[in-house]
A = this chain, B = another copy of it.
Amino acid sequence: MTGKFPNTVINRLTLYHCILVDYIKNNLDTITSSAIAALLKIDDSQVRKDISLLKNTGKSRVGYLVSDLKNSIEKTLGFERPKNAFIVGAGNLGMALANYNNFTDYGLNVVALFDNDKNKIGKKIKDKEICDIAELPSLAEKLHIEMAILTVPMAAAQDMADFLTKSNIKYIWNFSPSVLDVPDGVEVWNENLMGNFLQFSYKIGK
């Protein structure tokens, strides 16, 4: 489960990756370490040191080849093979995330959504169908899905996490503000978007 790079390096590599995705969208072919450093307001030497840890970075006379460096970081971060995931909970947040096309840029492929609301089941968000939650275990097995993006209300989150782990889901990206109990071998990553906003809101004051 633990990689060979420390979290601080991984954090920076993810930021470099974001820059590279942006460069590709803007049809820029090369990038220098100092350009990356300037965007992130860190030291050029730090950027070069991080990149020196990678393989096949496309180093050339005029900087790094954007696509090579991006591929290299993707290999390091382990998403050259896209991860397929279900969104569990087709409420506002689940819908918003299903609408967010950019996930595929980061090796995340949302395959379908799940809900227990009969009025939602069968509808489509972009090209993704909202399926009956009862079908999740069989679909997860059939499609070899190991990751769920959990966007159900907080009160339902633990029960749903139990249901997911029984369905052999191994990775839960948890957008509900719950602290989930999961068995060994299951990884949870918490994302409390509105909690973050409330902290900002408090900082702002009235």
Interface residues of chain A, those whose CB is within 8 Å of chain B, are 1-3, 5, 7, 10-11, 13-15, 17-19, 22-23, 25-26, 39-41, 76-79, 81, 83, 92-93, 95-97, 99-103, 105-108, 147, 153-155, 171, 173, 177-179, 181, 187, 189, 191-206
Contact = CB atoms under 8 A, between A and B. Distances in A.
A83 B77 CA distance: 38
Contact of A203 (B1, B17, B19, B201): B1
B93 A15 contact: no
Contacts of A97: 96
Contacts of A189: 196, 199-200, 203
B191 A173 contact: no
A177 B1 contact: no
Contacts of A171: 200, 204
A206 to B, nearest CB: 5
B198 A39 contact: no
A100 B25 CA distance: 26
A40 B206 contact: no
Nearest to A79: B201
A43 B123 CA distance: 42
B106 A99 contact: no
A196 B191 contact: yes
Given A39-B154, A99-B92, A196-B191, A106 B14 contact: no
A191 B103 CA distance: 15
B177 A15 contact: yes
A195 B102 contact: no
A198 B177 CA distance: 20
Q: Which 5 A-B pairs have the closest CB atoms?
A: A18-B177, A14-B198, A96-B96, A189-B200, A22-B154
